[in-house]
């Protein structure tokens, strides 16, 4: 396969990784909590998107509904669990988060929700064009993933760097007590952090569901550890680090599979990269030493 085609495929894969992991690193940056239940929010987003698409037949409205629903679920998780554990040892919210993830995944497998079977998400490319050149080709579905991911990450960048909310996130990440002392409404700031991070996860779930034409209750299992690998590679709590790590990991996975075949499963390659990173640069690509 040509190098340009491999790179384009890797960018599409990286876009899904970014949307999977960016919310997780946002929560860790502010609260220093590994929000494993984030993977269940990703699945809920895909489920809501599928339901809305089935009802109204419009992908873009379904995407917005999925993001809003995922954001609300994220805030509810924060208010129902982490809000009461902010001063507890970090192992406490981690255990609670794992329990929430298992509980929500099992609940989604019930017949009155998603059930135990895969469901098709036949949204196609949502009107996106196909790009063909001499060196690479991008399908409508791949264009959809790229365009939505770029737009959402650009909006997140502007929020983080150009708004009072973004400054409040930075202040809370440095020192929550000091941020509160200078007038930052911590409860509101953290809730919005969860809302936006969870909305991005919901968008990721919808895009992956459309791209694979498959939505199922356990699709968050992959995210629960793949997103963790990415935030460690990028540097815990660093959104730019997540973007760089996602691109690097996607390129490594694509080129290894293309050059040597499936000697190792794609997800095993991610763990191998993580091990090497922890050996030689344990603070991550863009993390602070």
156 band by pLDDT with thresholds 50, 70 and 90: very high
What is the C-alpha to C-alpha distance for residues 186 and 86, in angstroms, rounded to an integer?
Answer: 11
The pLDDT assigned to 120 comes to: 94
Q: Count Cα atoms within 13 angstroms, Cβ side, for 278.
A: 11
Mean pLDDT, rounded, for 193-212? 95
Residue 232's nearest CA partner among 9, 89, 28, 50 is 28
Mean pLDDT, rounded, for 138-162? 94
Tokens of 39: 């993977």
Residue-range domain boundaries for the chain:
33-228
Residue 263 has pLDDT above 70, yes or no: no
- Strands in 57-189 per DSSP E: 131-132, 137-138
pLDDT, tens only, 87-121: 888 899 999 999 999 999 999 999 888 888 899 99
Residue 200's nearest CA partner among 243, 240, 144, 156 is 156
The pLDDT assigned to 268 comes to: 78
The pLDDT assigned to 90 comes to: 84
Percent of the chain's residues with pLDDT above 90: 55
Mean pLDDT, rounded, for 120-139? 87
Q: Are 19 and 196 in contact (CB under 8 A)?
A: no
């Amino acid at each position: 396969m040509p190098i340009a085609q491999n790179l384009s495929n890797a960018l599409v894969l990286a876009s899904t990784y970014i949307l999977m992991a960016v919310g997780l690193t946002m929560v860790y940056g502010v609260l220093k909590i590994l929000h494993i239940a984030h993977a269940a929010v990703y699945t809920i987003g895909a489920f809501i998107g599928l339901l809305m698409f089935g009802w109204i037949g419009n992908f873009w409205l379904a995407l917005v509904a999925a993001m809003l629903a995922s954001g609300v679920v994220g805030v509810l998780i924060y208010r129902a669990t982490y809000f009461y554990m902010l001063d507890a040892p970090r192992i406490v919210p981690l255990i609670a988060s794992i329990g929430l993830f298992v509980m929500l995944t099992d609940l989604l497998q019930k017949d009155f929700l998603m059930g135990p079977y895969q469901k098709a998400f036949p949204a196609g490319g949502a009107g996106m064009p196909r790009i063909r050149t001499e060196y690479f080709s991008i399908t409508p579905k791949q264009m959809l993933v790229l365009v939505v991911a770029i737009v959402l990450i650009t909006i997140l960048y502007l929020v983080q760097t150009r708004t009072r909310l973004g400054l409040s996130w930075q202040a809370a990440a440095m020192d929550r007590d000091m941020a509160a002392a200078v007038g930052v409404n911590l409860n509101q700031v953290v809730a919005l952090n969860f809302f936006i991070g969870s909305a991005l996860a919901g968008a990721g779930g919808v895009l992956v569901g459309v791209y694979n034409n498959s939505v199922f209750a356990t699709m968050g299992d992959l995210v629960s550890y793949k997103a963790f690998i990415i935030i460690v590679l990028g540097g815990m709590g660093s959104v730019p680090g997540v973007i760089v790590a996602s691109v690097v990991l996607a390129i490594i996975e694509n080129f290894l599979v293309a050059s040597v075949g499936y000697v190792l499963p794609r997800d095993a390659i991610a763990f191998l990269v993580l091990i090497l990173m922890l050996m030689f640069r344990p603070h991550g690509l863009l993390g602070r030493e």
